[in-house]
Amino acid sequence: MPSIDEKESSGPHILVVEDCADQRELLRHILTKQNYVVDVAGNGQDALAKIRKQKPDVLFSDVQMPKMDGYELCRVVKKDPLLNDIPVILLTALWDVKSLVTGLQSGADFYFSKPMDRKSMLSRIAEILSEEGIKIDEKDKEVLEIQIDGERHSIVMSRSQMLRQLISTYEIAVQEKEKNLNNQLHRQESNPISDNLEYN
């Protein structure tokens, strides 16, 4: 059995974790075309077994999955000293404040919202790989106390993680704003308001 650091190929190895077969194969296709070595799993438990056999360069995981969701998978990876330098990207269709807090507590490094922008995804992965992993320095970790809807949350993360979270949150906010704007424009085009008013 190969050790945790052995690779079957010299190319960057990405593990895609997605319970939807169509989405999983689409991601595999997109990433393989970029000459990445791509492995897939349908849930967090299967992904964790694969990670412990062969450590990927990037872990790209959906959030909502059976058996073990993306948040729990990320928590397990980030708590393991042999695995916690793996960059974790979470892909989520639900984006709200509660999701953000849960993601922060899981230790995720980056986020993408569904439907994702292919160009942004590939750019982010290339950037992560150029950094040669996410280095975790326990001495650099800080406790961040935040209060949301009357509930207090404690989040432990490094300054570099905070910066990455801010970047991801900003990018998702921009995507959501563009999505809402496009939806509004589509509704206006579908239901144009006549300039000619009729008076009774």
pLDDT band at 171 (very low <50, low <70, confident <90, very high): low
Average pLDDT over residues 92-121: 76
Residue 142, pLDDT score: 65
pLDDT band at 70 (very low <50, low <70, confident <90, very high): very high
pLDDT band at 183 (very low <50, low <70, confident <90, very high): confident
How does DSSP assign 40-82, residue by residue?
EESSHHHHHHHHHHS--SEEEEESS-SSS-HHHHHHHHHH-TT
CATH number for domain 13-190, candidates 3.40.50.10440, 3.40.50.2300, 3.90.180.10, 3.30.450.20: 3.40.50.2300
Q: Global pTM?
A: 0.69
